[in-house]
Structure 1
Amino acid sequence: MGAVTTDNSVDRADRVPKQDRSRATRQRLLEAAVACLAEHGWAGSTVSVVAERAGVSRGAAQHHFPTREDLFTAAVEYVAEERSTALRALFPQGAAGDRRAVVAALVDLYTGPLFRAALHLWVAASNEDQLRPRVTELEARVGRETHRIAVDLLAADESRPGVRETVQGLLDMARGLGLANLLTDDGGRREGVVAQWAALLDEALD
């Protein structure tokens, strides 16, 4: 019995590093996929290109993500979840007293590589029947989560008339700023818009 226990312990010890390596490989692939989408768009972001950027073989990439659609929808979802976590971590005690900081943080969600990658995925989904339902479902889920985060951070009472629409308007505005930032650095104009929206929220939510 003692020998069997030892063998099982050795087997477990062998498995754990493999699991760790598998998780690390999956994460590298997801991060590389988002970077490729942001830089090269859908047409230039093949599984081979992503695998090369991640430093893994094409076979290893397909082991984790059998199809191209699997890879890229998972990649955008992964980074969206990471950004949501990071946004919540910015204000661990809440931020109702500093709405300008909250507005700026929400706008940042739509002006970084995640938004660029997601936009390329949306454009591809508009022309790819296999991709469209998956991206539509993902976008709806990410949108709901972002709305919940915004409501929490702003301490918004959505039982009051117009408050839900005000919060959604903020997120729509942030998405518009992200689109404007795709072509040129729109940072200067964003600062003024963020300040104005913070003032509007103070009036609407208090």
Structure 2
Amino acid sequence: MAQIDYYFATISPYTYLAGTRLEEIAARLGATIHYKPVDLVALFARTGGTVPKDRHPSRQEYRAQELLRQAKKLGMPFNLHPAHWPTNPAPSSYAFIAAQNAGGGDLGALAHGFTRACWAEEKDIAQDDVIRDCLSSAGFDPSLADSGLLQGAETYARNLEDAAEHGVFGAPFYITEDDQRFWGQDRLEDLEAHLIEMKG
């Protein structure tokens, strides 16, 4: 069974635009997904990236055009200037890790729920009530928002180290068990093609 390490950020617009296509690919091909939420700002600092607000205006302008183009192409609602971005990604990431450890729900739906709340629903995913709603909608116990914070922080920090060590520099980022790396939601077709090739 193929395995995919999936590095994502709960406040990443491109993670939002990935939707649940990775989960659909994994289901079709019998692959297992290892979810690894990461601190994207810290990852940029470690790997030579720059946060959007500090990028050259030409890069900011292109990013704005590209996000809107991709959202339209995918038929997904998208707010280029959400009311609650940037926000602290740690609480939602810790809740995701708690849900991952607890089981019983849909992790793909939870990851997408957090990003959708930010980029399409004008919600602050650092707020407890929003986190609880996302957990509940994905089939998890909403009280996980308040549990496992220390373990969540430790796993979140470890995911950052893993990301830097394995060549990850953005989100979403997908790594197969044979160390093929795919960066961006627009590379999911390439990831699927590689997984099919691996199956022979």
Q: TM-score range by the shorter chain?
A: under 0.3
Which structure shows the bigger proportion of residues in strand conformation? 2
Which structure shows the bigger proportion of residues in helix conformation? 1
Q: Which structure would you say has the larger RCO, counting Cα contacts within 8 Å and 6 or more residues apart?
A: 2
Structure of larger gyration radius: 1
Return the TM-score normalized by structure 2. 0.26
